[in-house]
Amino acid sequence: METSLMADSALVTLLLLERTGARSTAEVAAELALSRNSARRILDTLHGRGFVVRDAAQRFRLGPTLISIAAELPSELAIAADPHVTDLAERLGETVVLAMLEGEHSVIVTQSLGVTSPLRVEHEIGFRQPLSRGASSLAILAHLPGDDDRVARSGVAATELAAIRARGYALSVGHIRTGMIGIAAPLYRETARVAGSLAVIAPETRAQDLTRHAELLRSTADLIRNAYRSLRETSRIAEESPR
């Protein structure tokens, strides 16, 4: 088997194991129309690098190397959002961050620093904050279903959450850092359930300019949702195409 064909077969093998779970050498060979010798060589190579593991029944499943790589990859939503986050940051000249809902927190997964002034806000990717603190979190919290337990546990007043929904964005001053203001709109993926938020963060001295751009913030969130849908559709077509 030539190198390029073997590499493609190895990738298809990983996709098969991701889709179906544990498989024996014979099952991999049959499902991918490979000889047993070819399937064995591919699985042995993947096993040697930790991409698959073999259990006591001699069946293979995805291994720690692949899982470790996957943990470092940005989410599809972050990939879809990245150009829009960058464009918004450049247009406003302020820091723009995208946060994802994760349990009781919002977690920043991408950001762009559009400001040229030395006075700016910057977060580390992976920065976490509770759903009750900061515009990024509050925009998510306000758009969770009313019967979601996290809403009650947050301690945020129902009137405040209703006000956020009514105006379409959350606003916070000094919640995360003194002297900083944030404005955030909810972010959705394919369903009507909120998945995260898009926020602009700036020094409080530039607060008036920030709130003027609420509509642009909301429209950018819509662009990101559409870009995510398009990316998911492309992925679905690729997954369903004949191998």
For residue 214, the SS3 value is: helix
Pinpoint the alpha helices (H) of 60-206: 64-72, 76-92, 135-141, 149-154, 158-167
Structural domains in the chain (count)? 2
**pLDDT at position 160:** 95
pLDDT tens-digit series, residues 70-83 = 555 557 778 888 89
Asked if residue 99 belongs to a domain, the reply is: yes
Exposed (0-12), middle (13-18) or buried (19+): which is 68, by Cβ within 10 Å? exposed
C-alpha to C-alpha distance for 234 and 114, rounded to whole angstroms: 30
* pTM reported for the whole predicted model: 0.66
Boundary (domain end) residue, out of 71, 92, 119 = 71
**pLDDT at position 165:** 94
Q: What is the mean pLDDT of the chain?
A: 85
Measured CA to CA in angstroms, residue 190 lies from 76, 187, 225, 228, 239 at distances of: 12, 10, 7, 8, 18
Tell me the average pLDDT across 182-206: 86
Q: Domain check: are 183 and 219 in the same one?
A: yes
C-alpha to C-alpha distance for 225 and 25, rounded to whole angstroms: 41
Boundary (domain end) residue, out of 43, 71, 99 = 71
| pLDDT band (50, 70, 90) for residue 114 | confident
**Beta strands 23-24 and 52-54: pairing type?**
unpaired
Asked if residue 243 belongs to a domain, the reply is: no
Structural domain including 145 reads 76-233
